[in-house]
Amino acid sequence: MDSKLKIKMRGLDVKVFYGGKGALHGITLDILENKVIALIGPSGCGKSTFLRCLNRMNDTIEGALVTGRILLDEEDIYDPSVDVVELRARVGMVFQKPNPFPKSIYENVAYGPRIHGLAKSRTELDEIVEQSLIKAGLFNEVKDRLHDVGTSLSGGQQQRLCIARAIAVSPEVILMDEPCSALDPIATAKIEELIDDLRRNYTIAIVTHSMQQAARVSQFTAMFHLGNLVEVGATDTIFTSPQEQRTQDYITGRFG
């Protein structure tokens, strides 16, 4: 990889066990700042598991055990001195299914800044909400109904609301777990455009099942299979001349 680029997050020999059963068998992977990295691979290959390690969402699963090290700006996020709440404020997440809170659009976006005390006044909070909605490309569609309930939006709008909610706490990294799998092609296109815009300010890791999406939005691609990292490299290279037979087979649709 390009040596000029700064490494934002780095996984070192990450292994995950669910109830003693191995799900990831030692992943070492760098995530570069202000780039989009796509994690691809067939179902059950561990790409979502790896993503969930990056903000320690695996902590919430009973019986999950993570070994190895994951660095965020050179600091081990599994170190006992790291507060998981603070970590998640730095590494935000967007989930597969749009999951807005059953509250107003405004409250959805304002929740994160509020619990972290990011706004000192009501006007400041209003400003954060507006900016987040603008960045998520949703503001023009909802500016007249900020106090409508968030679940009344369409699926694509809900997912952009979730993205706005995630960026409202100004994270450094945004993790996206198949953010478009529940959306129609038009909504998907909007989200993909948005991801490309967000790259300027954030580092993004996205899990996707769509090869086209990976090719469109990412600069780097990591191919997972059966809990192992098969290959990682610039997206162009991976899609045009993969080094591994398994990658070749997967992206041409021969398995998975």
Partner 1 sequence: MSLLSESHMKPLTRNIGLKRRYRAEKRFRAYGLIAICTGIFFLGALLWSIFSHGYSAFWQTSITLPVRLDAAVIDPQNRRDKNPQVLITANYPILIRNALSEKLSIAPDDHVGLRQVNRMFSSGVRVQLRKMVFDNPQLIGTTQTVTVLAAADIDSAVKGQINLAVPETKRKVSDRQVEWIHELAADGSLYKAFNTGLFTFAASSRPETSGLGAALIGSIYMILIVLALSLPIGVAAAIYLEEYARKNRFTDLIEININNLAAVPSIVFGLLGLAIFINFFGLPRSASLVGGLVLALMTLPTIIITTRSALRAVPSSIRSAALGLGASKIQMLFQHVLPLAAPGILTGTIISLARALGETAPLLLIGMVAFVANYPRTPMDPATALPVQIYMWASEAERAFVERTSGAIIVLLMFLAVMNIAAVLLRRRFEQP
Taking the complex as a whole, the smallest distance from the CB of residue 26 to partner 1 amounts, in Å, to: 26
Residue type, 17: F
Number of residues that bind partner 1 (CB under 8 A): 28
Site for partner 1 in 57-96 (CB under 8 A): 57, 60, 62, 85-89, 92-93, 95
Q: How many CA atoms lie within 13 A of 68 on its CB side?
A: 21
- Out of 13, 28, 79, 102, the only residue in the binding site for partner 1 (CB under 8 A) is 102
Q: Is 165 in the site for partner 1 (CB under 8 A)?
A: yes
User: Measured between alpha carbons, how far is 213 from 176 in angstroms, rounded to an integer?
Assistant: 13
- Mention every residue, 6+ apart, whose C-beta is less than 8 A from residue 241: none
- Decide if 161 contacts 136 (C-beta within 8 A): yes
Q: Is 246 in the site for partner 1 (CB under 8 A)?
A: no
Taking the complex as a whole, the smallest distance from the CB of residue 147 to partner 1 amounts, in Å, to: 11
Alpha helices by DSSP H, listed for the chain, are 47-54, 84-90, 105-115, 122-135, 139-142, 155-167, 185-198, 211-217, 235-240, 245-251
Q: Is 1 in the site for partner 1 (CB under 8 A)?
A: no
Question: What's the angle, vertex CA 148, arms to CA 142 and CA 153, rounded to 5?
Answer: 60
Q: Is 100 in the site for partner 1 (CB under 8 A)?
A: yes
Site for partner 1 in 140-159 (CB under 8 A): 149, 151
Q: Is 181 in the site for partner 1 (CB under 8 A)?
A: no
List residues binding partner 1 (CB under 8 A): 55, 57, 60, 62, 85-89, 92-93, 95, 97, 99-103, 111-112, 115-116, 149, 151, 162, 165-166, 169
